[in-house]
Amino acid sequence: MAASFLAELAQHRCLLFLIVILGFGGNLLVGFQVSVIAYPSQDVQAFLNASWVRRFGVPLSPETLTLLWSFVVSVFCLGGLCGNLASGALLHQCGKKKALLWSDLLVILGAVLIGFSQMADSGEMLLAGRFCYGVSAGICMNTIGPYLAESSPQRLRGFAITASVVFFSLGKVLGQVLGLREVLGGPSRWPLLLSLNGAPALVQLLLLPLFPETPPHLLLQNGDKEACLRAMRTLWGPNCGHRHEAQVEEILREAEADAADGKRKWGALEVLRAPALRRPLALALLLVLGLQLCGLSAIYFYAFDVFRTARIQEGLIPFVTLGTGACEFLASILCSTIIDRFGRRILLWGGFLMMGLSMALLILALFFQDRLPWLSYFCIAFIFLFVVFYAVGPAGATFAFMMEIFGRAVRPPALVILGTILWFGLFLSGMGFPVLVESMGYFCFLIFLAVDAGIAAFVYFFFPETKGRSITEITNELQGMNLGGKRAPGGSLCTKL
């Protein structure tokens, strides 16, 4: 099995290079910014306070400084929301490749602003740079998945999408390593640390033009079948001619289905109003909310606060945080190699179930650690287990599922809707999680436990499997499900959705 998988990857080496380029210049940068911002927090706050004193002669109050710092963290999410909202029109006008090139320019602009913010004594440049990073992240998260889904053969579609998520985890690890005080986390080096995103973006800006636009875009938007076939030969290799023609026929069938519905271009409001899309949109929305409320996003935004709540020694916190990032990275690699073998559904419900179990054990360990201090070590272990199950299951399988339940024409506006909820949720969790921890302590994890257990049950009973199936087959199965859970003749899943 492993030998045949590696042989197929070797045959599709151009696609593999595309995955690396998109991951290195896209998802890696998003993961890096999510994790790295926690490390220079004290130094950036000192810079903001000193800049205020030089301008106005009085220091900021602790409450105002904390609020300003929270905004520095969360403005990335506001930028992500703006990039997400703009991505639908950008993808339609420019295509996926050009959209990513514009995104690279935004990253480079943000890196320049942040890199010179301390020299210019300007907190506004820091905020503007973080906002540019966020806009780029919003574009990337709505572009990279569809780019790879449309550029991959059906048998490697899950691997391609989840492999790009591996770079998101790698970005987190790099942020944790480079953010250490012994590396680039010092008071004079934080502008360099936060502006490192510019280098991978420049690499992608130079290399991505060497790869083709997605075959469906070339065929349907440009009306160029020869260019579509050339792109397939480039990405899949020249020895798959029968698959090239079969894929062209599948693209045309999907376009004919859209034309039969009277839709060639979908808007977000039209997607929300379409009865046939309510069920796939609801399933995808449930997974997006699950990623928001499973507990991991809040942990990575305020990792130090979470581990202090678990009573881990202050000097060990940076290294424990680094360990969780390394576990997520390795587990995401495992997910990318098994998702096309086991499918999306089992990784989703199994991942959420084991995350809920890990969270329950963590709550118990935190409850009894006053009487049994050695349970602090088990707290660390349960956090690690939670991160591993998150990366093996929902982290990669969610995005693969979302790419596969929407047709090509519907996918951009559907992702705008889902991305709006995702980025708005990230902003609220970034602003509100410290208050939640302060008011509830470790009992706030009960909320995450309930969410994980509930979603695991819902996925197990109500979600279809999408592995190895065409968009048309998946759409027909979802449309054949009525409110009682029974399918039209030929359906395979009977639930009570």
pLDDT, tens digit, 9 for 90 and up, residues 406-417: 877 788 888 888
3 state SS of 481: strand
* Interval 414-432: pLDDT, tens: 888 888 888 877 777 666 6
Q: How far apart are CA 325 and CA 141, in angstroms?
A: 20
Grade residue 234 by pLDDT with cuts at 50, 70 and 90: confident
Q: How far apart are CA 227 and CA 217, in angstroms?
A: 10
**HSE-up of residue 123 (Cα within 13 Å, Cβ side):** 20
DSSP code, position 488:
S
User: Above 80 in pLDDT, residue 64?
Assistant: yes
The reported pLDDT for the residue numbered 137 is: 92
283-309 average pLDDT score: 72
Q: Which of 88 and 460 is assigned the larger pLDDT?
A: 460
Contact 140, 106 (CB under 8 A): no
User: Above 70 in pLDDT, residue 138?
Assistant: yes
Range with lowest mean pLDDT among 99-113, 353-367, 461-475: 461-475
Distances in Å between the Cα of 299 and the Cα atoms of 91, 180, 304, 354 are 32, 18, 8, 17
Grade residue 113 by pLDDT with cuts at 50, 70 and 90: very high
The reported pLDDT for the residue numbered 272 is: 84
Contact 277, 271 (CB under 8 A): yes
Q: How far apart are CA 218 and CA 208, in angstroms?
A: 16
For all residues of the chain together, what is the average pLDDT? 80
Helix (H) or strand (E) holding 478: helix 471-479
Give phi and psi for 118, each to the nearest 5: -70, -40
User: Above 70 in pLDDT, residue 9?
Assistant: no
Q: How far apart are CA 422 and CA 434, in angstroms?
A: 19
The Cβ of residue 336 has, within 10 Å, a number of other Cβ atoms equal to 20
Percent of the chain with pLDDT over 70: 81
The reported pLDDT for the residue numbered 254 is: 66
Contact 209, 227 (CB under 8 A): no
The Cβ of residue 245 has, within 10 Å, a number of other Cβ atoms equal to 12
Sign of CA dihedral 470, 473, 479, 481: negative
The reported pLDDT for the residue numbered 495 is: 35
3 state SS of 6: helix
Q: For residue 346, give every residue at least 6 positions away whose Cβ sits within 8 Å of its Cβ, in sequence order, or none.
A: none
Residue 482, both tokens: 């009525």
Q: For residue 213, give every residue at least 6 positions away whose Cβ sits within 8 Å of its Cβ, in sequence order, or none.
A: 95, 96, 97, 231
DSSP code, position 186:
S
The reported pLDDT for the residue numbered 89 is: 82
The reported pLDDT for the residue numbered 203 is: 93
The reported pLDDT for the residue numbered 155 is: 77
Q: How far apart are CA 133 and CA 122, in angstroms?
A: 17
Question: Strand pairing partners for 487?
Answer: 481
* Interval 12-46: pLDDT, tens: 778 889 999 998 888 898 889 888 887 888 888 88
3 state SS of 254: helix
Model's pTM, two decimal places? Answer: 0.80
Q: Directed axis angle between helix 396-404 and helix 144-151, to 10°?
A: 60
User: Above 50 in pLDDT, residue 486?
Assistant: no
Distances in Å between the Cα of 263 and the Cα atoms of 138, 218, 268, 301, 409 are 26, 19, 13, 40, 8
Kindly list the structural domains of the chain, giving each domain's residue range(s) and its CATH number in brackets, ordered by start. 11-237 (1.20.1250.20), 273-497 (1.20.1250.20)
User: Above 70 in pLDDT, residue 257?
Assistant: no
The reported pLDDT for the residue numbered 484 is: 43
Grade residue 8 by pLDDT with cuts at 50, 70 and 90: low
The reported pLDDT for the residue numbered 104 is: 94
* Interval 350-391: pLDDT, tens: 999 999 998 888 888 878 877 877 777 787 788 888 889 998
User: Above 80 in pLDDT, residue 265?
Assistant: no
